[in-house]
Chains A and B, each alone.
Chain A
Amino acid sequence: MNFKGTLPTLILEALAHEPSHGYRIAQRIKERSRGVLDFKEGTLYPALHKLESEGLVESYEGVENGRTRRYYRITKSGKGTLAKDRAEWRELSQAVTMILGEA
């Protein structure tokens, strides 16, 4: 399913619970959508870099299984943006459900 415009919000949501690295973020999005949101993982990192340059996430180096990895965590500003995106999404999905539900 094409969900390009919502990828940054989904990344912020995935990071809202705990800091994570790119691979785990991708797996979490796929698992939580039960495979419906299946995206090309190469496009995840540009979205992460954009969020980082906007100050919504920050990165640091961590070690997992003896391997150094780049971890990302959500910032205070990122939490604010996520709350706003969540409210907007609820409003939009309610409106679309009202229209499509009538059909």
Chain B
Amino acid sequence: MTALEQWLQQATRSLAKEPAAQVRCEIQEHYESARETARADGVSEQDAERKAIAALGDAKAANCEYRKVLLTRAEARLLREGNWEARMVCHRPGFKPFLLLLVAAALLGAAVFYRDGVGATAQVLLVAGIVLGVLFGAPFLPIYTPSRSRVYRYVKWTMLLGMFALIFGRDAWKWSWLLVSCLWPVFWVEWRRMSIRRKLRVADWPKQLYL
């Protein structure tokens, strides 16, 4: 294995396939230019190669910098597979109306319970209806710009936490371990999506990044 190949392997470690290929290509071009310049200055072939590799610096440091700006394998996988909820809804023709009916049923239930004087249940159903409406209504809302989608996400998370606080009332803090242990995959995915949003140009954002 050549010194350049070793450098590239370390520098592209855990990067997604496409960015890794791009890094390989541009570093190889850079290396060739540096080597040719050194050769033109009268440096021997071996020394020119050594000098070109030394000029690139530490491959681990470069990898660290690359992972901050290019998609990693895990992030690329999330983009490919992370949209399973939307796919599930879209692939089953009757599922979308069912979810919207669920929202309507929750809101109707809230109205009925209010009328019958069961305030606590009505409150929970009302909040659940609104939260489900915000979650399932997203595809129909005009949220597909960075600023609007940011507002949507703030509203979504505030509502989810608000619903939790409303359901558990004064015990919300005591039961927060339940929320964290049940929802950590959701938090983890959201954390990854934040990282992907920073790395991709807005023009390249798939719809799931707006949600």
Contact = CB atoms under 8 A, between A and B. Distances in A.
Interface of A: 21-23, 26, 39-43, 45-47, 49-50, 52-53, 55, 67, 69-70
A67 B62 contact: no
A23 B65 contact: no
B contact patch SS: helix
Nearest to B55: A41
A69 B28 CA distance: 10
Contact of B27 (A39, A45, A50, A67): A45
8 contacts: A21-B29, A39-B57, A42-B65, A46-B68, A47-B65, A53-B69, A67-B32, A70-B29
Contact of A43 (B29, B32, B57): B57
B58 A40 contact: yes
Interface of B: 7, 11, 23, 25-27, 29-30, 32-34, 55-59, 61-62, 65-66, 68-70, 198-201
Contacts of A40: 55-58, 61-62
A42 B27 contact: yes
Closest 3 CB pairs of A and B: A40-B57, A46-B65, A42-B62
Given A22-B26, A23-B30, A40-B57, A53 B65 contact: no
B75 to A, nearest CB: 13
Contacts of B29: 21-23, 67, 69-70
Contacts of A53: 69, 198-201
Contacts of B68: 46, 50
Contact of A46 (B62, B198, B200): B62
Given A23-B29, A40-B61, A46-B66, 5 more contacts: A21-B29, A21-B33, A23-B30, A45-B62, A46-B65
B25 A23 contact: no
Contacts of A67: 29, 32
Contacts of A69: 29
Given A23-B34, A49-B70, A42 B201 contact: no
A43 B26 contact: no
B159 to A, nearest CB: 30
Of B26, B56, B61, most A-chain CB atoms within 10 Å: B26
Given A70-B26, A70-B29, A55 B201 contact: yes
Contacts of A39: 57
A45 B68 CA distance: 12
Contacts of B66: 45-46, 49
Contacts of B26: 22, 45, 70
Of A39, A53, A55, most B-chain CB atoms within 10 Å: A53
B202 to A, nearest CB: 8
B63 to A, nearest CB: 9
